[in-house]
Amino acid sequence: MSRRYSRITGTGSYLPERRVSNEELVAELAQRDIETSDEWIAGRTGIRARHIAAPDELSSDMAVHAARAAMQAAGCAAGDIDLLIVATSTPDMVFPSTATIVQRKLGIAGCPAFDVQAVCCGFIYAISVADAMLAAGSAQRALVIGAEVFSRILDWNDRSTCVLFGDGAGAVVLEAGEVPGILACDLHADGRYTDILCVPGHVNRGQVMGEPLLRMDGQAVFKLAVQVLDKAARAVLDKAGLGDGDIDWLIPHQANLRIMQSTARRLHLPMEKVIITVHEHGNTSAASVPLALDTGIRNGQIKPGQRLLLEGVGGGFTWGAVLLNL
């Protein structure tokens, strides 16, 4: 019997309507005596704007928008989906999972639905899990979504983090078949680095215990990210028996332009082969890779049949890569 593979057949994304430019954010923060500048934000990160969810807009709402666009692109209906995975660290509720809420909103009861929590590497984890389930024959057509409302877990008085993140969602439809789409996945985590990027609070007997806002040692994350992203890229290329020259597009986690430049340099890839969207939406955690992927496909940069390297890195510490043919 021939091997089963999974392949992306459609992508979609969503950004909340409210766009906040660096200039607007700088002015807003200045009213509270928090000093920052467009020069600092854009110069250190490449971020020029972020989108902020409406007060009543949830991760599941944004996920549904992205999912509908991905299903339309794939030419399938919600009823054709038999596996639903949402990568998020900002779920609607403690439980049930955001995936089950998305399932209800899409009207597709019955198929397995669950969340994956690997922070900014969440989508890479989710698509790897979906690929394994499709290859094993557990499902035929998966909806894999990254959706986040990080604006709700930011300390808006901490200039070292609040300028970096935004809200959004991205989704793909993944279908099982005999034609190889996903060629290799590589996932890692190292729990010794929990403290460098975390939201340490939790709920206990109806009270929020500890700090429920994002804390990050930016320099430590930066240094580690650069090292592990290179290793993950090498690992998927090795698994697939391919080399640097076989990549058409690098689609990295959109957190910092300088990290993306460093990853590209190490892979001997010109920046013309890197999809960059961080300037428009900042760091959207698990949504960032599918947002960048969908943007690159819809604006015509990425073409059918090309080979893509997707990479993620985030809190945990978690990191990983996926190599695929579109």
| Residues recognised as catalytic | 120, 253, 283
What's the min distance (Å) between Cβ of 109 and ligand UT7?
34
- Measured in degrees and rounded to the nearest 5, phi and psi for residue 280 equal -90, -30
Report residue 305: phi and psi, to 5°.
90, -10
Residue whose tokens read 């215990």: 209
**Structure tokens of 299?**
């604006």
Q: Which residue is nearest to ligand UT7 (CB)?
A: 218
Query: Which tokens is 296 given?
Result: 């690159």
112, 247 in Cβ contact below 8 A? no
Least distance from ligand UT7 to the Cβ atom of residue 234, Å: 19
Between 120 and 236, CB nearer to ligand UT7: 120
Least CB distance to ligand UT7 at residue 49 (A) = 15
Q: Locate tokens 């579109």: which residue?
A: 326
Q: How far is the CB of 219 from ligand UT7 (least distance, A)?
A: 5
Longest CA–CA separation in the chain, Å: 66
CA separation for the pair 313, 286 (Å, rounded): 9
By C-beta, is 41 or 264 nearer to ligand UT7?
Answer: 41
Relative to beta strand 318-325, strand 182-189 is: antiparallel
Distance CA 259, CA 253 (A): 9
CB of 209 to ligand UT7, least distance (A): 24
Residue 165: CB minimum distance to ligand UT7, A: 8
Which residues make up the interface to ligand UT7 (CB under 6 A)? 36, 40-41, 44-45, 120, 159-160, 163, 218-219, 221-222, 225, 255-256, 259, 283, 313-314
Beta carbon nearer to ligand UT7, 19 or 44: 44
- What DSSP letter does each residue of 251-278 carry, written as one string? EE-SS-HHHHHHHHHHTT--GGGB---H
Between strands 83-87 and 141-149, the pairing is parallel
In the block, tokens 């986040």 appear at: 148
Is the CB of residue 285 less than 8 Å from the CB of residue 122?
A: yes
Shorter beta-carbon distance to ligand UT7: residue 53 or 74? 53
* Cβ-based nearer residue to ligand UT7, 99 or 259: 259
Angle between helices 288-298 and 122-135 (to 10 degrees): 80
Q: What is the CA radius of gyration of the chain?
A: 19
State which residue, 103 or 256, has the beta carbon closest to ligand UT7.
256
